[in-house]
Amino acid sequence: NAYLHSTAAADGKPQRYRAVRADYHGHVAELLAKATRSNQLDAAVSKEDQEKLLASLQWWGALDKDYRYSRSRDSSDRRGYDKDAGGGLSGDPVPSTPMGLGDVLGTTLWGRLPFGDLYEMQTTLMQPVGGMDRIGMAFAHELDGLIRYRARVLDIHQDEQGVRVAFEDGAEPGSRHQARADWCVCTIPLSIL
């Protein structure tokens, strides 16, 4: 559920990768379905293969029965919902509205869609055996003695001299300590920070 961003696209607002990808696929599928249904591919594709092509486009692009890419549960299963399914009386999901074709093409964010398909990048997209936390555990092993555990961050301050972090040591409740460094790699979620 990563974001794509360009200051020149979508009024500078980040867009979900999955939404841009689904909308691009949906609109391309709709256009190709229109060309197929209006006999523009007759010279290149047999009638039998056109039927197969239409079925595959309908599935690949989340097209409706009329081969249109529109707001629906199928398109929202790909691009994400305005409101995800939940429980209770208001548990039904709320489908999201796809970007129009002009918006998808105008954002130029489509240029970032094949990143994971590039030969050099495929091997970087992996999951370690045992889960992603194995990466942190490997760093911890190599940095033995340098990592301070059970330290609750109270404040992070950045200035021209570097970064200062105030923290409370879990072994000393109520204590206040400081650490200084040139850089801070902060993995605290923004909603908590």
Task: Please write the tens of the pLDDT for every residue from 36-87.
Answer: 999 999 999 999 999 999 999 999 999 999 999 999 999 999 999 999 998 8
Q: What is the pLDDT of residue 122?
A: 67
Strand-pair category, 3-4 with 15-16: antiparallel
Distant-in-sequence, close-in-space partners of 177: CB < 8 Å, separation ≥ 6: 151, 166, 167, 168, 169
Report the pLDDT averaged over residues 23-35: 98
Q: What is the pLDDT of residue 127?
A: 77
Q: Which domains, and CATH codes, for the chain?
A: 3-122 (1.20.1440.240), 127-193 (no CATH)
Q: Across all residues in the chain, what is the average pLDDT?
A: 90
Q: Are 79 and 98 in contact (CB under 8 A)?
A: yes
Report pLDDT digits (tens) over 113-139: 887 788 777 666 677 889 888 988 999
Confidence of residue 188 (pLDDT cuts 50, 70, 90): confident
